[in-house]
Chain A
Amino acid sequence: MTAYPIDPKLDLILERNIDVPVELVWKAWTEPKHLMQWFTPAPWKTVDCEIDLRPGGIFRTVMRSPEGQDMNNIGCCLEVVHHRKLVFTDALLPGFRPRDDGFFTGVVLMEPAKGGSKYIACAIHKDEAGRKTHEEMGFHSGWGTALDQLVAYAKTM
């Protein structure tokens, strides 16, 4: 269903079926007053949200920790297909201006399904290891395997 390559070591795909119309799923993802109601896992809260629903338009959330510390997450929308698809990232600021420390792109796909809707949320993360190794070593694969072996070993210690 997605046209993007997924790296199982870095990315997540979650698929859900729900007995509500797809229009409602779309609304919950794209209107700040609705998104604020669910976007941040409790006990954190979303206390502010801005969405300008067009490519390059702002996608911003402010999350508040239980201790009252606010985290401002600012990014932009990349792709908007009414009632079907929303892609947003924190790697680009509104107007597509590159940002240094972004690490995430979200892809949300939805469609009507029998008895309601199906939606898929993909979290695509920056390849921190790959980025560093490309920069410093020109090295591509191998750390994943090394990591797996070492972790397997670690569990026996």
Chain B
Amino acid sequence: MTNQQDRLNDTFHALADPTRRAVLAKLTSGPATVSDLAQPFSMALPTFLQHLKVLEECGLVRSKKVGRVRTCQLKPKPLEEAQDWLGAQRTLWTKRLDQLDDYLRHLNATENRK
């Protein structure tokens, strides 16, 4: 549970930055090299690499170096987890209220018998 919440926090943190979102958006059209990804941004390369590091650490992006070229790829699993969270809350509340309704009917029947 805590692990999952940490992962959610990391995912939301990674998404909370315009540069990182732009990188993710670009990667939705397929793998890209680090230099291609960095090109649209007017920031120093080390700063850009920091952004990539955040994305890699939360598992949204994987990179692989072949020769002198590092290529990045999108890994969508953490995003699905973020989306799934509200769905899980809904399931919990639906079950909870189903149990409440069962219990209320039981309580009502018991009180009517008195």
A residues contacting B by CB (< 8 A) are 9-10, 12, 14, 16, 18-21, 24-25, 27-28, 34, 37-42, 121, 123, 125, 128-129, 132-133, 136-137, 139, 142-143, 146-147, 149-151, 153-154, 157
Contact = CB atoms under 8 A, between A and B. Distances in A.
B45 interface: no
A10 to B, nearest CB: 7
A37 B98 CA distance: 12
Contacts, number: 108
B103 A28 contact: yes
B4 interface: no
B104 A143 contact: no
B76 A38 contact: no
Contacts of B28: 149-150, 153
Summarize A's interface: helix, strand, loop or mixed. Answer: mixed
A76 B74 CA distance: 43
B70 interface: no
B102 to A, nearest CB: 7
B49 interface: no
A73 B76 CA distance: 32
